[in-house]
Amino acid sequence: MATDPFPIMNSTSNRLLKNLHRVMSAWGSVVVQGISTLGDISLFAFQMFAWMFRARPKRETLMPNFYAVGVLSLPVVALTGTFIGMVLAIQSYHQFKNIGLETRLGAVINMSLVRELGPVLAATMLAGRVGSAMAAVLGTMRVTEQIDALVSMGANPIHYLVVPRFLACVLLIPALTVMADFMGIVGGYFYSVIILGIDHAQYLRNSRDFVGGFDLFTGVFKSIFFGATIAIVSCYRGFHCQPGAEGVGRAATAAFVQSFVMILALDIVLNIFLDAVYFAIWPTGAKLF
């Protein structure tokens, strides 16, 4: 029988405190669970890095993953990139026109795309398309004992399954980010110049003057971390999948949700870091207007 934590209180305050106790303990267990999962994921990532340097992955495991992550993700990343570029043009045009700065639209669209939307969009598409598929495949392999079969035949599942997926995500997400950036720029240009009739030369000049190499670097640099997060979180979720179809479904969902949350959290940290680096190199900074 559970002991009463607050035996001397009167009934109303006792009830209130009991409820508070219940809420606090529920939140406490969520926090403990979260920290424990983070610790588990860190250990999993450590094992993965150890295996990455210990033995070279085989070509037969690398190529299918490179194909799935790079080639098959390209169309959807390009398409969404184009739409985002066009949407940015639609959303910004009227505000900028009101203050007579519609020719600067190119700078705003391209800067937003290259620094922020391109990498985050590519990472989101990768987490949705590839991350949840990774979790589902590895989860199914866990449930159907294929991972045990790998171990029983002398293969290390982290080396055989996780390292190639990690390398595919980390090495190919920069290319996908550049593709999202490029198609977004094309989409923004198309809508601004062809549909809205902004002057072609001014649009391009503004784009060129305000968007620099460091901006492109910022996006690509961040995307590497996003790719690593997607691969580690998704593979971890697959490896720790609960039995049954529901378990696999939950692993796939958790892989996407947790990857996405971690991508956004990382985005803040990396932006603060990259801003510090930028202002350390160029103390006066760049001015848009």
Residues of the shown chain interacting with another protein in the complex, contacts defined by CB under 8 A:
64, 140-141, 144-146, 148-149, 151-156
Interior angle at CA 183, CA 180 and CA 185, nearest 5: 105
Smaller CB distance to another protein: residue 48 or 180?
48
Interior angle at CA 131, CA 129 and CA 134, nearest 5: 105
